[in-house]
Chain A
């Protein structure tokens, strides 16, 4: 079946450092979505990428969709304590499959 793999599982950074999480699929995806889940909270939709090679930005967050539509990345520039949480990618062809998520831990 369809698998969406996400690395790393955990990432510790100092506040102000950059952070990147990567998402890879075993199959071609029709789209990729990114969600953020704060500690004790629920996943919140951040963005969706649909086109091959697409790049979208939200303030300090940059999202990329690979040319082959099998991988994606989320990059945060100059992390802040409010960025703490778990970032999930989710993609699919005939159904949405979530990755395991990357837990971002920020040390002040």
Chain B
């Protein structure tokens, strides 16, 4: 099974800060890596698919990069409405889907 790690597990940043979250896969997953935002009490929402593609309607301050085993998710300028937990998710063709443990983002 492919394991996913995320870091940090939580972070606190100021409005306007650049925020970066990393996700690492235990083996090469090409670009089969997606990012979701989950606000408290809400269902997850897709933000980035295939590592770097911005979902329609998602603000451009969100971005993703990486391939193979190492991936990065960035919020270029943190806004109050970005308070949420962010999850990476990988896919392989067994099929199997694994979510990372999540990164909780807070405002300082």
Does chain A bind chain B? no
